[in-house]
Amino acid sequence: MDETQGAFLELRKVTKKFGNFTAVDEVDLVIAEGEFFTLVGPSGSGKTTMIRLLVGMDQPTGGDINLKGVRLNDVPANKRPTCMVFQDLALFPHKSVGENIEFPLKISGVAPDKRRQRAEQLLKQLRLPVDYYSKGVNQCSGGERQRIALARALAFDPDILFFDEPLSALDFRLRKTLEKELKDIHRETGKTFVYITHSLEEAMVMSDRIGIMRDGKIVQIGTPAAIYNDPINRFVAQFMGEVNTLEVESAGKNTVQDIASGARFKVRAMPDGFTKGALIIRPESVKIGQSAAKLPNRVKGTVYNDYALGSRVQYQVRSETGDMQWLVERLQDEPFDGKAGDKVTLGWQTEDSILVGD
């Protein structure tokens, strides 16, 4: 079946140019109703320009943006059934919490009693005390202001909520709390969320699907698990977190050779036409010490250092040939008695070998 059938939000060859610079380059994208979709990418990848096009702050140079089959290209932002939660939240500092939440209803002509009823309903839904209605916004904490901004967006009852890195300025602990709350709110409201972030961790925690952007294009779309386990190229694999990377070339059926050391390794599959590329092995897939001795892919090295990462320990191991520093991650309760200076064997299963091109 054609994936565009019944599409909620659909982009067809959407392009945005600024003079000779192409910020968004012929992007095709289909987002389902009720989905939590996140665009993630490094600075300059085009994700902020993309959200400005979707919300109506900029117009595309080419292509079409359709919502429920209706072309939105020329519809101004204030006429679209969408709403934006900005990075700086854009709350009115001189207004109360209730007045901020009610603002979109007020400009739509909703009666005062109905506005207050809706505001109090949203305060409860966003886990804020109802008596915050009369509280000044500047008296609220950072996390509370995030919830107020979201309540104001929901008051408009939009078809889609867009988020422009709303958690980026918060401390780590509050950010982790709000990541989970946003996912819960998405589930409770059933709204379509389109989220922009440079944080891979945010995208992995919250999203149904992720789109990875680079140089104005979406290079891969998939579930967090699919993108993490099957990156389409080296950029995606490395963007998805710390990895061990070997430059390799084909050496027969499902076998590659490390160009630097000459060592051969088994891979789970060889892409059609593959000659040279990168072998990616994630740190948590690498075994160390006795647990590595009988694995099909092995290298030898020397433990250089270890780093405590909460529930995990990361080891840095320098390869015997001196051409690579390996990262190995173990849970704190997994036994490994090695220390800096110890000679060790590293190993991994064939199915944990990810082979990608550039």
Residue 2 confidence (pLDDT): 43
Beta strand residue intervals within the chain, DSSP E: 9-18, 21-31, 36-40, 62-67, 70-71, 82-85, 160-164, 192-197, 209-214, 217-222, 244-250, 255-258, 264-266, 276-281, 287-288, 297-309, 312-319, 325-331, 343-348, 354-356
Find out whether 353 and 274 touch, Cβ atoms under 8 Å. no
Residue 171 confidence (pLDDT): 79
- Asked if the model's pLDDT at residue 6 lies above 60, the reply is no
Cα gap 343→331, rounded to integer Å = 21
Q: What is the largest CA-CA distance in the chain?
A: 76
- 13-42: average pLDDT: 96
Task: Give the model confidence (pLDDT) of 88-128 as tens digits.
Answer: 778 899 999 999 999 989 988 999 999 999 999 999 988 89
The confidence band for 3, taking pLDDT boundaries of 50, 70 and 90, is very low
- Asked if the model's pLDDT at residue 250 lies above 90, the reply is yes
Residue 327 confidence (pLDDT): 92
Domain with CATH 2.40.50.100 in the chain: 242-356
The confidence band for 4, taking pLDDT boundaries of 50, 70 and 90, is very low
Residue 275 confidence (pLDDT): 92
Task: Give the model confidence (pLDDT) of 271-290 as tens digits.
Answer: 888 899 999 999 999 999 98
Task: Give the model confidence (pLDDT) of 151-167 as tens digits.
Answer: 999 998 899 999 988 88
**Strand, helix or coil at 273?**
coil
Find out whether 233 and 356 touch, Cβ atoms under 8 Å. yes
Which helix (H) or strand (E) element contains residue 201?
A: helix 200-206
- Asked if the model's pLDDT at residue 257 lies above 50, the reply is yes
> What class is the 242-356 domain?
mainly beta
The confidence band for 10, taking pLDDT boundaries of 50, 70 and 90, is very high
Report in angstroms the alpha-carbon separations of 86 from 97, 170, 198. Answer: 17, 14, 14
Residue 1 confidence (pLDDT): 35
Domain with CATH 3.40.50.300 in the chain: 9-229
Task: Give the model confidence (pLDDT) of 177-222 as tens digits.
Answer: 888 888 988 998 899 999 999 888 889 999 999 999 999 999 999 9
Residue 157 confidence (pLDDT): 86
Q: How buried is residue 208: exposed, middle or buried, by Cβ count under 10 Å (0-12/13-18/19+)?
A: middle
How long, in residues, is the chain? 358
Cβ density class 233-258: b for 16+ within 10 Å, e for less: bbbbbebbeebbbbebebeeeeebbb
- 322-349: average pLDDT: 87
pTM score, whole prediction: 0.87
Just give the CATH number of 9-229: 3.40.50.300
Closest of 75, 60, 84, 32 to residue 196, by C-alpha: 84
Neighbours of 324 (CB within 10 A): 18
Mean pLDDT of the chain, nearest integer? 90
Cα gap 216→23, rounded to integer Å = 5
- 257-268: average pLDDT: 93
**Strand, helix or coil at 131?**
helix
